[in-house]
Chains A and B, each alone.
Chain A
């Protein structure tokens, strides 16, 4: 793709999160706490995409996340593409991996769960990665990752 046809400006150094379903864009922003990032963040919302129809993209300058931070995205956007950019070149491409345990990422759907009534961190055990089913460590209720609320 030629430079002039890029929909979002190129990045010198940093991280690109591509192929975000547009409905999940702001969840990604919240999950990675991008509101606290001091460097330039470019957000492309509802961009044209050959594979997805519409997609969103986030470019974060001079910021490199840990795998644990990025893998949190698997909870809400398992199919995003991650590019690590150095000197305008993609030096690494990554996909996100769903962890076996989810610490402090999602809320329990059970209103009578202790985690919804006490100032504490949630913990879920992923019991079926393919079906996206996890189980609350505290109240033992199972829930699907699809449609979960973030903390």
Chain B
């Protein structure tokens, strides 16, 4: 059967319908994650930059669908270190695999790979540019916990300047009439480009530096981010702001019942550990949702339809 394959570089360009379609697919995979659907397929995971949790999540997604996985987790073992171009590596691997999941340290690498590769590319992160599978699992987590993506109050906290997850989520949410609250110190404020983007798409947003129980009381989703040391050129600046937005348990006193705390992980010191046991903590389940979101993305890229996933006869109980 000839399937219509497609690469996934970003979901910022996806329509509302496409996002909802992928969420439905992820729901199907959560219902039955173990299948033999991709038994004849080889999935290559090419990680030119180490990222253990993203790689494990993608490889688990492929393995649970019966695919076999090849690839590398450490760029030092690749010919890139001998001077091979990305194109040559991609063309070589395309001879062996049916799909490539690629993480790269250069921005735009996924777009370029998708243009030269004869097989679909799934972007597992390209520098500070895009990380669509993270966005997909964030959307899925919001959808699962709130029952909808529409009309939500989403509070983004911490590093809004360098944090690509918040930028991608902001763009993907444009179809769903959200109200954003951007909570960050001046040094890490949401870039003007994304605030202009909100205005262009009639997305409501509020900017504040305050982070306390009163502010949090309006949130449906509290999206915490890590202030990443590696994003700073000025380490003095890092030391000054790194503890600015620590979420403490008493700050949840006025939180709404449905409020959930998300975090792309790894957490360093943004969320007090005692919050893990509250009903608001959702970051570990969020990471777990990555499995189903990535199963959906791999199958969609390979051209499997939602109908096929629903009527799949290869499910393993």
A residues near B (Cβ < 8 Å) are 110, 112-115, 117-120, 136-142
Contact = CB atoms under 8 A, between A and B. Distances in A.
Given A114-B86, A118-B85, A118-B87, A139 B193 contact: no
A136 B112 CA distance: 12
B108 A138 contact: yes
A113 B107 contact: yes
B107 A139 contact: yes
B90 to A, nearest CB: 11
A114 B87 contact: no
B109 interface: yes
Given A136-B108, A137-B111, A138-B111, A119 B193 contact: no
Interface string B105-129: 1111101100000000000001111
A112 B112 CA distance: 14
Chain A interface SS verdict (over half): loop
In this complex, the member of B107, B112, B126 whose beta carbon has the largest number of chain A beta carbons within 10 angstroms is B107
A117 B85 CA distance: 9
Contacts of B105: 112
Interface of B: 85-87, 104-109, 111-112, 126-130, 193
Contact of A114 (B109, B128, B130): B109
A141 B105 CA distance: 16
B128 A120 contact: no
B127 A138 contact: no
Contacts of A138: 107-109, 111-112
Closest 10 CB pairs of A and B: A138-B108, A139-B107, A139-B108, A114-B108, A114-B106, A114-B109, A114-B112, A138-B111, A112-B107, A113-B108
Contact of B127 (A112, A119, A142): A112
A118 B91 CA distance: 14
B106 A112 contact: yes
A106 B127 CA distance: 22
Contact of A140 (B87, B104, B129): B129
A139 B109 CA distance: 8
A142 B105 CA distance: 19
30 contacts: A110-B107, A112-B105, A112-B106, A112-B107, A112-B127, A113-B108, A114-B86, A114-B104, A114-B107, A114-B108, A114-B109, A114-B111, A114-B112, A115-B108, A117-B106, A118-B87, A119-B85, A120-B87, A120-B112, A136-B108, A137-B108, A138-B108, A138-B109, A139-B107, A139-B108, A139-B129, A140-B129, A140-B130, A141-B107, A142-B193
A110 B106 CA distance: 10
In this complex, the member of A112, A114, A118, A142 whose beta carbon has the largest number of chain B beta carbons within 10 angstroms is A114
A5 to B, nearest CB: 52
A136 B126 CA distance: 14
A141 B112 CA distance: 15
B206 to A, nearest CB: 25
